[in-house]
Structure 1
């Protein structure tokens, strides 16, 4: 499996188009210290998604930061992205791995104990547990997990696969980073708190610094 740096996973969502062009936002996040990028669009045509993904790849060229496409293996293949992030209703990770190859990054969303168990057994490179807190960036049908719920799911996932990197998503703020890292998160996924902050580069730096400090404290 490919080693993935989950410390700061910046999700460039199509809903951010009112802030700035997505490739510009992606480049700013990378400049601030994002270690992983996701491009997410639930409504655009396949052609538009491929164009956007390719533009983001150009914008972050030379940074070494991988770009994943949310949900869409076909778009990732067509655009030459580094991999995909898949939800429970998307293409299964086994088929995604066969199509994308051994070096692609495959991430999985985890919301339940059953999904945690499946993720641990799947050919995935990381999992992201959430939603941890309430968020306006995406509709989450169930109630937020909270810190305790996150800790429990992470423990269940690691019971089956102790070395799988695990991130946290939904409602992440700088103040919530340290408790999440203490609860076992290897990093955080952010959308609104980063890209609607008014200072993407500065906010990314602050988030990355908070993650690094919390990880250092956890390993001490």
Structure 2
């Protein structure tokens, strides 16, 4: 089962603002080292409010921590950057995560940008049509969400698509691994796998 963590620096130690400016991202770096030691497969750097220079800096620190903290079996935590191919390339990340939306790059465009080396590309999908498109475009991973309901900023509850739709998404994806995202917990993770998911993706699950 693939395990795919997503960062939120406001939820990990070392944040928030009372931390020294010189060590603002200590929590993210420590998290990367811990996840690597635990054998987690992927870590998506999703700090969308940061400027490119700052994001490159923290990405490099996280990548170094991921390499230093590798699991006992020798597996390596792969670091992907959310939506910023320039940052991913400059930092030496393992790949890129593409958010959903017509304005986003395609998987093929990402492959051309990373032409000099292989890159892992994950794609966010919320509908079966998006799943089919991502799979057909050659995505390495599909993050299908939200499987379960969750509270979004402002206190509003976003309804989950459910396990049945997750199963349909896994079927639509063919050979492309689908990871369940959105409200995934220790209690319901196995149900996602039973529905056909190749693993789980989450923020809080990995804190």
| TM-score of the two chains, using structure 2 as the length reference | 0.82
Aligned equivalents of 1:170, 1:137: Cα separation in 2: 11
Higher relative contact order (CA 8 A, sep 6+): 1
CA contact (8 A) 2:150 2:159 kept: no
Give the structure 2 partner of residue 99 of structure 1.
113
Give secondary structure in 1 for the equivalent of 2:105: coil
Q: Which residue of 2 aligns with 1:211?
A: none
Deviation digits for residues 27-70 of structure 1 (CA, Å, limit 9, x no counterpart): 11222221111110121111111111001011111422211011
Change (3 A) 1:135 1:33: farther
Q: Please, which runs of 5 or more residues in structure 2 have no aligned partner?
A: 17-25, 71-75
Segments of 5+ residues of structure 1 without an aligned counterpart are 1-5, 196-220
Contact between 1:107 and 1:126, CA under 8 Å: does it hold in 2? yes
Alignment of 1:25 with 2:31, yes or no, is yes
| Equivalent-residue separation in structure 2 for 1:76 and 1:138 (angstroms) | 27
Please give the secondary structure, in 1, of the residue aligned with 2:198.
coil
Higher helix share: 1
State the match for 1:204 in structure 2. none
Contact 1:97 1:123 in 2 (8 A): no
Q: Are residues 1:68 and 2:80 paired?
A: yes
Contact kept, 8 Å, 1:12 with 1:26, in 2: the verdict is: no
TM-score, scaled relative to structure 1: 0.77
User: What CA distance in whole angstroms lies between the structure 1 residues aligned with 2:176 and 2:34?
Assistant: 28
Q: Is 1:54 equivalent to 2:49 in the alignment?
A: no
